[in-house]
Structure 1
Amino acid sequence: MAQKAAKTLAARNASLLTRTHIISAILHALFLTLHWLFNRPSSWKPYLFLACPTLLIEFYLERLGRPSHHPVDGSLRSPGEDLGAAGLTEYMWDILYWTWGCIGAACLFGDRGWWLWIVVPLYSVWLAYSTFTGMKSGLAGMGGGGGSAQAEQAAAESKRQKKMEKRGGQRAQYR
């Protein structure tokens, strides 16, 4: 059972990447088939501008997470990076999934389906704003502002100290 965690990660990454490529190929083929077969009045600009960059994201995730094996004996050389990691990888998966939804909407509703993509920049702005406000409140205890939070904390401590004094202070128990 040597390297069980690495083997598990490699199997999970390989299956996730295979499933991702199959779903992406099906959606792109469906969009292109509907465009060419039924002569849909959709332009190529939204598709090229919004859907094709996700192919670059897929390529990056492939390079990042695909496990590599030794060519001689087939043993695991590297399991690849964890594709379920938080941070930038998670954001890339979100963009990929959202683009799949937009391609599906473009298949159903035509070019109007690409307007759903506006949610991605709005989400980025909201994420940056919430990170900034979280950082600001985290620095409040170091003199970075937030006087009302300090006053509430002092009031809570004083109530606690009053209760402790009423009980006779803190008591130590010996066995």
Structure 2
Amino acid sequence: MAQKAAKTLAARNTSRLNQTLAATLLIHGFFLLLRALVFRSSFTRKSLVLYLLFSAPQWFINLQFERLGRPKVNPDGSIRRSGEDLEAKGLTEYMWDVTYWTYGCVFFAATVGDRAWWLWGIIPLYSVYLAYTTFMGVRQGYTDAAGVPQPQAATSKRQQKLEKRGGQKISYR
């Protein structure tokens, strides 16, 4: 059972990347087919430029996921590199949000029209919201009301409940 964690991560990354590739091809193929066959009159140069402009970040993110997350396998079948964790918090999570939001925008642009690309403008607003809440959380988490840094002793929920009931008090040395 050598490298069980690496094998599990590699299998999970491969599955997720294959699903993402299939969804990307399906959504973008749907847009191109629907616009080229059904809504021919609205498939103009402007429409194509908007499509390329607003779907380019998602294509770039997919390439980054492929480059960073796809496992590298030796010829004998052993894993050389399992890839980065594609379910990590932070920037990776934000990149998945951009990918899924772009899927929705491409779908709505295919069915409703070019005005649906305005939905893509929510992504920068969401970025500002995330940055603000992160900044305020860090700012409030490490200071008291006067702005003085306060180290907090980490207590478990069980310890807090016991102290609240007046039961077993825990003293820290």
State whether TM-score is above 0.5: yes
1:69 and 2:70 aligned: no
What's the CA shift string for 1:26-73, capped at 9, x where partnerless? 1111111112112041412221111122111100000111011112x1
Q: Which runs of 5+ in 1 are unaligned?
A: 146-163, 165-169
1:55 and 2:59 aligned: yes
Name the structure where helix makes up a greater proportion of residues: 1
SS of the counterpart of 2:42?
A: coil
Segments ≥4 residues shifted beyond 6 Å: none
User: Per the alignment, do residues 40 and 102 of structure 1 end up closer, same or farther by CA in structure 2, a change over 3 Å counting?
Assistant: farther
SS of the counterpart of 1:140?
A: coil
1:134 and 2:137 aligned: yes
Structure (1 or 2) with the larger CA radius of gyration:
1
The alignment's TM-score, normalised by the length of structure 1, stands at 0.77
| Within-5 A mapping of 1:22-101 | 22-38=22-38, 39-42=40-43, 43-71=47-75, 73-101=76-104
Residue number in structure 1 paired with 2:19: 19
Q: Quote the offset at 1:123 in angstroms.
A: 0.7
Q: Which runs of 5+ in 2 are unaligned?
A: 149-165
User: Per the alignment, do residues 40 and 77 of structure 1 end up closer, same or farther by CA in structure 2, a change over 3 Å counting?
Assistant: farther
What's the CA shift string for 1:99-150, capped at 9, x where partnerless? 00111111110112211111111111111111222222134339527xxxxx
The alignment's TM-score, normalised by the length of structure 2, stands at 0.78
Q: C-alpha distance in 2, partners of 1:53/1:86?
A: 20
Percent sequence identity over matched residues?
52
Q: C-alpha distance in 2, partners of 1:116/1:142?
A: 39
Q: C-alpha distance in 1, partners of 2:142/2:9?
A: 37
Query: How many residues are aligned here?
Result: 148
User: Per the alignment, do residues 75 and 139 of structure 1 end up closer, same or farther by CA in structure 2, a change over 3 Å counting?
Assistant: closer
Q: C-alpha distance in 2, partners of 1:88/1:122?
A: 16
